[in-house]
Amino acid sequence: MTRIHTDDDANAEAIRPGPIAIIGYGSQGRAHARNLRDSGHQVIVGARPGGKAAQRAAGDGFEVFAPGEAAKRASFIALLTPDMTHREVYENDIAPNMAPGETLMVAHGFSIHYGQVRPRGDIDVILVAPKGPGDLVRREFEIGRGVPSLFAVWQDASGEARSRALAYCKGNGGTAGGAIETTFAEETETDLFGEQAVLCGGASELVAAGYETLVEAGYQPEVAYFECLHELKLIVDLMYEGGLARMHDFISETAKYGDLVSGPRVINDETRARMREVLTDIQSGAFARDWILENQAGKPRYDALLRQDLEQDIEKTGARLRARMAWLQPGANTKAAE
């Protein structure tokens, strides 16, 4: 059985006295920086001078420096900019400013696993990946809990890399939620597969295909939207809260029987074969090479595919219906709370 590491397994002193440099102040960067500071660590932020991220970090009370200067001042560097920027940021700002024995951390292994970043041999290289968006990571920390995290060691130059990864997990709330040790390969490949085959690619295609099937059969688009997209949240919430068992507890016997006999007709051996193809492309590096080249070309195919995705009829129908759902409007939840 996989071991789940808790606060008792982590020594916060492994990454003190610091400072810790958070390079990139987006959703994850902001959450990590604030959590680590509240855990008693010295934190500085590296961001482009004059940019929105730098202004927000300064507004949150952090000392903000250009990325290279932040790296120079820190003994532990968390690279939390988007994956496709890692190579440039590492080569230009981080590598020249790291001393032997210091630590480079990422929250997703893509750039290192696929060779976009090739770390020097005299530094520790680790991964700490909270399993939730930045807002949730911060919110759970603030109420004394934490979001589960994955951690891994790519390179242990100091002999302390694993201890440093666990210490960072603890400072960010990860060991309160439970931290699981993995590898860069496992974290990267499973994350990409989940996004492509299930969470984003698989789910969105399934929803769109269901909607199109009903509309082509003559049913009203609005009714198709409710049945294939709107109600999906109800099922996902049940599964999130208690797995398949909780879903079965809360749906009708008719829905349950339909699930059991028709689910395998839609997700079948052919579907699983396509999923294995997706996984093979991820494992071989084919997907990574394609995505890297797409970025280098200015993302023309990406832009065209995204535009095509957002121009589907289900998007137009959904926008019209959601405009009538008061609870989805900006500020609705805040007003309700007041």
pLDDT at 304 over 90: yes
Residue 14 Cα distances to 147, 150, 257, angstroms? 21, 18, 53
Residue 53 Cα distances to 48, 56, 240, angstroms? 7, 5, 32
Structure-token match 């920027």, residue found: 85
Number of CB atoms found within 10 A of residue 288's CB: 21
Integer Rg of the chain from CA:
22
Asked if residue 37 belongs to a known ligand binding site, the reply is no
Q: What is the pTM of this model?
A: 0.92
Number of CB atoms found within 10 A of residue 205's CB: 12
DSSP letter string, 226-273: IIIIITHHHHHHHHHHHHHHHHHHHS-HHHHHHHHHHHHHHS-HHHHH
pLDDT at 338 over 70: no
Strand (E) or helix (H) holding 73:
helix 67-73
Strand ranges in the chain using DSSP code E only, listed in sequence order: 20-23, 43-46, 64-65, 76-79, 103-106, 124-130, 149-155, 179-181
Asked if residue 18 belongs to a known ligand binding site, the reply is no
Q: Is 108 a catalytic residue?
A: yes
Asked if residue 9 belongs to a known ligand binding site, the reply is no
pLDDT at 288 over 90: yes
Asked if residue 26 belongs to a known ligand binding site, the reply is yes
Strand ranges in 95-252 using DSSP code E only, listed in sequence order: 103-106, 124-130, 149-155, 179-181
Asked if residue 195 belongs to a known ligand binding site, the reply is yes
pLDDT at 335 over 50: no
From the list 32, 41, 86, 108, the catalytic residue is 108
CATH no., domain 4-182: 3.40.50.720
What is the pLDDT averaged over residues 233-246? 96
Closest by CA position to 98, among listed 135, 123, 132? 123
Domain boundaries, the chain: 4-182, 195-328
What is the pLDDT averaged over residues 223-231? 97
